């Protein structure tokens, strides 16, 4: 069972392991094994990342990766920064995120001081200040090795949303599934660095399964840029500021990681300005602790079901779950052409975000509650009646499954 559960992570790491089909009602011991395996497999991925890039990354007390020796100061006072400099900290960079009324300063800890100790030292120097790790956030799904060629066939299920945002890795804007979509990029110094995860999510978010030109705009922020320090919360902050500046009402975030004070501030700032955030809840298993940003209040957290509307065994459960959507046996765009089979909550979230984008054209204070109510009216209740920890308020985008359930053929 551990080998079966390992398939999504193995695919994410580029290993040629086919995605398994798992039974629905697993015996408790087996489900427990999968539960443990889900969180352990993400930990394996994190440990591999830390080991391969130890020069740039270090682990926080939970084992989550963060930028080595960097501390994020949130809206620090000049007096606090002065005390930090006197204690041996060095200012690496500073960002003023005007659309979010937020200033962040990245500090370099003194030589030989781990971030954990640096945070304790700063807490003594500035008891009222807010400091945290510069955490790195990872995708919450896997693309498979299977592929098929692209062509134009029958109409897809639902239409592309008119305007939607994406925070992920790079997107292959030339892929046929994104035909006619105005893809506006941010990050990487204006370099286009397409990636498997970002391209797959983008196709489900704004594309058409049969390659028909659908129009609309996709604001795609690449926070990875192919770098070992990619996915840092400080880069995510700058991406969110860009989306706020562009007045993108609905933003899909298929990334997961630990709680972080800057991330919480970003979520709060975006929501107060009327943006709606949709995020994957993660694949760490039913009993795993919550992952963020999906677990923050107000974020629309999305879990994943299989073609028979059964919750994926690796999908997380709990208060963070607002809706379920198809998240396995789907074919999404593959960077460079063709399609890849995808599985995980990463690929369920964009199907919900594209529905949310139909409900909200421009950011509007209080919009999140209204959008959730509108989506709830479209959802099909699964599991116990009403809102539950497995399926949230019910299944959305069931009709989209038919569009993305088969690869495109050459003829």
Q: What is Dmax (Cα atoms) for the chain?
A: 69
What is the reported pLDDT for 1? 33
Alpha-carbon distances, residue 120 vs 76, 111, 113, 133, 191 (angstroms): 16, 16, 11, 12, 38
Q: Per residue in 300-344, pLDDT tens? A: 999 999 999 999 999 999 999 999 999 999 999 999 999 999 999
Judged on CB neighbours under 10 Å (0-12, 13-18, 19+), 9 is: buried
Predicted TM-score of the model (pTM): 0.87
Q: Token digits for 57? A: 């990354």
Write the class of the CATH domain 138-404. Answer: alpha beta
What is the reported pLDDT for 27? 41
- CA 287 centroid distance within chain: 20
Q: Per residue in 273-299, pLDDT tens? A: 999 999 999 999 998 899 999 999 999
What is the reported pLDDT for 212? 84
Return the active site residues: 168, 197, 346
What is the reported pLDDT for 334? 95
Answer for the pair 365, 286: CB distance below 8 angstroms, yes or no: no
Where do we find the tokens 């498979």?
144
**Rounded to whole angstroms, how far apart are CA atoms 191 and 331?**
27
Domain with CATH 3.40.50.200 in the chain: 138-404
Enumerate residue ranges in the chain where pLDDT < 50. 1-36, 149-157, 410-411
**Which CATH topology does 65-135 take?**
Alpha-Beta Plaits (3.30.70)
Domain with CATH 3.30.70 in the chain: 65-135
């Amino acid at each position: 069972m551990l080998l079966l559960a390992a398939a999504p992570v193995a695919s994410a790491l580029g290993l040629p392991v086919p995605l398994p089909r798992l039974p629905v009602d697993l015996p408790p011991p087996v489900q427990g094994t999968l539960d443990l395996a889900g969180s352990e497999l993400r930990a394996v991925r994190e440990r591999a990342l830390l080991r391969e890039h130890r020069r740039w990354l270090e682990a926080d007390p939970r084992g989550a990766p963060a930028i080595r020796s960097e501390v994020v100061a949130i809206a620090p006072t000049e007096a606090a920064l002065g005390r930090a400099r006197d204690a041996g900290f060095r200012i690496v960079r500073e960002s003023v995120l005007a659309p979010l009324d937020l200033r962040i300063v990245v500090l370099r800890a003194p030589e030989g001081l781990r971030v954990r100790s640096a945070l304790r030292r700063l807490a003594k120097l500035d008891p009222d200040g807010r400091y945290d790790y510069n955490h790195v956030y990872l995708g919450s799904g896997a693309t498979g090795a299977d592929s098929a060629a692209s062509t134009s066939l029958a109409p897809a299920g639902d239409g592309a949303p008119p305007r939607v945002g994406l925070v992920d890795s790079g997107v292959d804007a030339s892929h046929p599934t994104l035909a006619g979509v105005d893809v506006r990029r941010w990050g990487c110094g204006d370099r286009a660095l397409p990636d498997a995860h970002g391209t797959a999510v983008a196709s489900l978010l704004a594309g058409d399964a049969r390659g028909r030109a659908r129009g609309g705009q996709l604001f795609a922020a690449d926070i990875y840029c192919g770098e070992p320090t990619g996915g840092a919360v400080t880069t995510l902050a700058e991406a969110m500021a860009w989306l706020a500046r562009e007045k993108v009402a609905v933003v899909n975030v298929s990334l997961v990681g630990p709680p972080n004070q800057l991330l919480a501030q970003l979520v709060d700032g975006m929501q107060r300005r009327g943006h709606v955030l949709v995020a994957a809840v993660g694949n760490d298993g039913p009993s795993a602790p919550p992952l963020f940003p999906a677990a923050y209040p107000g974020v629309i957290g999305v879990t994943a079901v299989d073609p028979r509307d059964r919750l994926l065994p690796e999908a997380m459960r709990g208060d963070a779950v607002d809706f379920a959507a198809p998240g396995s046996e789907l074919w999404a765009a593959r960077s460079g052409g063709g399609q890849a089979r995808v599985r995980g909550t990463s690929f369920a979230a964009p199907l919900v975000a594209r529905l949310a984008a139909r409900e909200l054209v421009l950011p509007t204070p209080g919009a999140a509650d209204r959008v959730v109510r509108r989506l709830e009216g479209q959802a099909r209740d699964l599991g116990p009646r009403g809102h539950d920890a497995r399926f949230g308020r019910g299944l959305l985008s069931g009709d989209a499954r038919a569009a993305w359930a088969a690869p495109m053929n050459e003829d």
